[in-house]
Amino acid sequence: MTVLAPVNDLLQEMADSLDTLALLQQRELNAIVDRQHADVNLITADKDKVLTRINELDQQLNQHPDKEQLKDDPELSEAVAVIQKNLKEVQHQSQVNEHVVQSTLNSIEQLKQTILQSARKDSLTYNSKGKIR
């Protein structure tokens, strides 16, 4: 038989995990802006672990026999409200990071196209009649 953690312990771990995720997202944004691509990959792996744990905690809370305490107990319902607020902030930051990544990828693609066009111009050759080959 599995021993269930108390609801308040699960909530605290959820809050701590969201705080960790928020810090990882800030580190990710800084790494993207600073073009530290290796760091971005490491941070992404850490984020995946934290997200997996958050999902596990959410499932445990949803299946917990004492989950009604989350609504009935004023302290726990306030903790739930804070967690929901933090979750929205984390989701917003995730969208911001995604936008920055997309903008960075677009800039890289534009630079690539510019370099390729420039290389094509430099590689033009002419035949004996002065026409481009």
At residue 122, the pLDDT reads 61
Per residue in 13-67, pLDDT (tens digit) is: 999 999 999 999 999 999 988 989 889 999 999 999 999 999 999 999 999 999 8
Q: Between these two residues, 67 and 125, which has the higher pLDDT value?
A: 67
- Mean pLDDT over 85-99 rounds to 95
Do residues 10 and 61 make contact, with C-beta atoms less than 8 angstroms apart?
yes
pTM score, two decimals? 0.79
Q: Where are the beta strands (DSSP E) in 15-118?
A: none
DSSP state of 125: -
CA distances from residue 20 to 46, 53, 86, 124, 125 in whole angstroms, order as listed: 10, 11, 11, 54, 58
Burial 12-41 (b: 16+ CB within 10 A, else e): ebbbebbebbbebbebbbebbeeeeeeebe
Burial class (CB in 10 A: 0-12, 13-18, 19+), 11: buried
**Interacting residues of 96 by C-beta distance below 8 A, sequence separation 6+:** 29
What mean pLDDT value characterizes the chain? 89
pLDDT at 94 over 90: yes
At residue 2, the pLDDT reads 58
- Mean pLDDT over 60-87 rounds to 93
- Mean pLDDT over 61-80 rounds to 92
